[in-house]
Amino acid sequence: MAAVLFVYLLSLVCWLGGMVFFSALVAPLVFKVLPMAEAGKLQAVLFPRYYLLGYICGAIAVVLAIFLCATRAQRMWWAIAALALVVALGLTVYAGAVVRPRVDAIRTVTEEANPDPARRAEFDRLHHLSVMLNGGVMLLDLAALFVSAVALTPRG
């Protein structure tokens, strides 16, 4: 059981840590250091890997949270963690598989001197949606981590 808990917690903190590292450090630095066109190209290369990390770690965390819910005491806490992780994984898949390709398709609008206002507005809307989805995933992952800590305490 210790190995299951270890892999569960590792997947959860890798997912959350990867998101925090990318959002708080990598993305701001890329746009500060590189010209807009190159920064956009780099982000377009990084995002598929960013989302892949979320898919893999999220899937592992969901499966193991459900397993822990079925096999451990404090089932209510494990069920809450599993629910939070299922929603977080769903948001991650939507952001990576639906929103990201749409952003990539119109990303060059940010480099245009006189962009089409409708395309620019669509890019801004999709970018905002992506930020909100990723923020929601981070909050859900944090909630799952907290609830997991509660479930692991002696009294739950």
Boundaries of every domain in the chain = 2-152
pLDDT value of position 108: 87
pLDDT of 138 reads 98
Q: What local confidence, expressed as pLDDT, does residue 154 receive? A: 83
Q: How far apart are CA 58 and CA 112, in angstroms?
A: 36
Q: Which residue ranges in the chain fall short of pLDDT 50?
A: none
Determine the residue type at 55: Y
**Considering Cα of 87, then 89, then 137, then 124, what sign does the dihedral take?**
negative
Alpha helices in the chain (DSSP H): 2-21, 27-33, 36-71, 75-94, 100-106, 117-152
Per-residue pLDDT at 156: 62
Rounded to an integer, what distance in angstroms lies between the CA atom of residue 145 and that of residue 66?
14
pLDDT at 14: 97
Q: pTM for this structure?
A: 0.92
Q: Residue 133: what pLDDT?
A: 98
Phi (first) and psi of residue 47, to 5 degrees: -60, -40
21 contacts: CB under 8 Å, gap ≥ 6: none
